[in-house]
């Protein structure tokens, strides 16, 4: 129980994205501003200060903040300076005033705040709910938050509190993780196990490694081998796996004997062979490699794209799907395959990126953009070009950086931009 605050709690600060995010664009961005409206609100800038306005031009917040995030649902994090941040709502009201060292987006209706090295919580109306008294704290998950309190000048202990700050599970653990699917991983004496919300030890605290419960399964074991366990806390595989890469599309990517395997949620490996390299599933497809040759499989282990392609590490997104197409590489040239393994755009470009907003940057003497049918829709003229996101892409033209829209028109830093991009 050393008095150090593990970084794992910081991972719980990820903003909550709005489920029905609506993005619209304004053409004239020659002022240098990013005039991108997300859910009807746009970030504005004047000098080195930022604010917000609505689509009808109504100013929500004048340009007064040093840094701002984009809106995530009903809230946006804002910074008055490097040391003071807060949270505003869609009317520009500071729900959490810019007085605090750290503010995170709401989870379970609670907002975690840091002041003078101690954590407390506010509700979504900005009312204080739990005083600043914890040395560390997670965000709320399933009605509880992990908190750490001082035992003495050198030790802290971890427990759990409810929305009212009541201690539900006393601080008795060397470390503790948030609850997921009704259970939480806890640590004592350098060993891990699991507890339920009544602090019952449902998995004995004896393992060197325990992963969080996800879709009713988890791994436990040591560096020499981990087993997959089910919701009854019983192992359903032998302790074969030395590294757990992650889970997606109800498939687990794990490493054993120095190679990669995919398991279903019952612990069965979906193929009888292993891979030298592999990626997590994406849109029901995963890139896999055997003896230096790459291909794509589906969630049943069927080969969709034959293992006869290359990957020289130039692009991390190779064999991962974006806009229904995966970037592939053959003999140092790039092309694209669809979800069925059909080569839609043959490998012919010496360099390329993944698709975004229906366009992909490709190199053909100069960088330009193609659509999903392979048509060159923004002619090659750029020194460098990046993928599109939110309808904008960053390009370099004759040594200068610009942003363009999906029509190829300059929308940022446009004072020195030509009317037509020419090689």
pLDDT at 256 > cutoff 80: yes
pLDDT at 413 (0 to 100):
86
Q: Are strands 243-248 and 251-256 parallel, antiparallel or unpaired?
A: antiparallel
pTM surpassing 0.95? no
CA distance linking residue 334 with residue 336, whole number of Å: 7
Half-sphere CA count of 84, side-chain side, radius 13 A: 9
pLDDT in tens, 375-412: 999 999 999 999 998 889 999 999 999 999 999 999 88
pLDDT at 313 (0 to 100):
82
pLDDT band (50, 70, 90) for residue 20 = very low
Taking CA atoms, 264 is separated from 261, 268, 270, 277, 305, in Å, by 10, 6, 7, 18, 21
pLDDT at 7 > cutoff 70: no
Weakest mean pLDDT among 13-22, 143-152, 262-271, 293-302: 13-22
CA distance linking residue 290 with residue 223, whole number of Å: 25
pLDDT at 357 > cutoff 80: yes
pLDDT at 211 (0 to 100):
97
pLDDT at 350 (0 to 100):
96
pLDDT at 81 > cutoff 50: yes
Mean pLDDT, all residues of the chain: 91
SS3 helix, strand, coil % of the chain, rounded to 5?
0, 55, 45
Q: Are strands 67-68 and 333-338 parallel, antiparallel or unpaired?
A: unpaired
pLDDT at 341 (0 to 100):
96
CA distance linking residue 245 with residue 238, whole number of Å: 18
pLDDT at 30 (0 to 100):
41
pLDDT band (50, 70, 90) for residue 340 = very high
pLDDT at 35 (0 to 100):
53
pLDDT at 231 > cutoff 60: yes
The contacts of residue 29 (CB under 8 Å, 6+ apart) are 35, 403, 411, 412, 414
pLDDT at 65 (0 to 100):
96
pLDDT at 138 (0 to 100):
98
pLDDT at 25 (0 to 100):
44
pLDDT at 39 (0 to 100):
75
Ramachandran class of 66: left when φ > 0, alpha when ψ lies in -120 to 50, beta otherwise: alpha
Residue whose C-alpha is closest to residue 139's, from 17, 2, 16, 18: 16
């Amino acid at each position: 129980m050393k008095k150090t605050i593990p970084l794992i709690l910081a991972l719980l600060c990820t903003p909550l994205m709005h489920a029905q995010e609506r993005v619209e664009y304004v053409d004239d961005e020659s002022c240098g501003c990013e005039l991108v409206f997300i859910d009807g609100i746009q970030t504005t800038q004047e000098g080195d200060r930022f604010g917000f306005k609505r689509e009808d031009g109504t100013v929500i917040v004048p340009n007064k903040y040093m840094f701002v995030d984009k809106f995530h649902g009903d809230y946006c994090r804002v910074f008055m300076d490097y040391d003071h941040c807060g949270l505003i709502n869609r009317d520009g009201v500071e729900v959490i005033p810019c007085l605090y060292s750290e503010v995170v987006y709401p989870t379970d209706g609670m907002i975690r705040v840091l002041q003078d090295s101690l954590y407390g919580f506010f509700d979504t109306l900005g009312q204080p709910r739990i005083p600043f008294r914890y040395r560390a704290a997670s965000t709320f998950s399933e009605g509880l938050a992990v908190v750490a309190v001082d035992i003495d000048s050198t030790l802290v202990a971890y427990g759990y509190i409810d929305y009212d700050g009541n201690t539900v599970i006393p601080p008795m653990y060397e470390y503790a993780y948030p609850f997921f699917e009704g259970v939480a991983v806890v640590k004592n004496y350098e060993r891990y196990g699991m507890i339920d919300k009544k602090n019952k030890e449902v998995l004995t605290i004896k393992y060197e490694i325990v992963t969080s419960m996800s879709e009713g399964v988890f791994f436990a074991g040591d560096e020499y081998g981990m087993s997959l366990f089910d919701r009854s806390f019983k192992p359903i595989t032998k302790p074969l796996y030395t590294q757990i890469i992650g889970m997606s599309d109800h498939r687990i990517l794990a490493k054993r004997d120095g190679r990669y395997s995919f398991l279903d949620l019952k612990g069965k490996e979906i193929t009888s062979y292993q891979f030298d390299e592999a990626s997590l599933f994406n849109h029901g497809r995963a890139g896999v490699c055997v003896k230096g040759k790459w291909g794509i499989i589906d969630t049943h282990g069927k080969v969709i794209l034959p293992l006869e392609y290359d990957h020289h590490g130039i692009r991390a997104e190779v064999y991962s799907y974006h806009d229904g197409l995966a970037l592939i590489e053959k003999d140092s040239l790039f092309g694209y395959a669809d979800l069925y393994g059909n080569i839609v755009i043959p490998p012919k470009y010496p360099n390329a990126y993944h698709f975004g907003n229906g366009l992909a940057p490709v190199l053909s003497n100069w960088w330009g953009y193609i659509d999903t049918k392979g048509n060159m829709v923004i002619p090659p003229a750029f020194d460098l070009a990046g993928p599109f996101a939110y309808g904008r892409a960053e390009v370099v033209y004759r040594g200068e950086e610009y942003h363009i829209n999906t029509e190829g028109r300059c929308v940022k830093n446009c004072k020195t931009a030509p009317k037509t991009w020419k090689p």
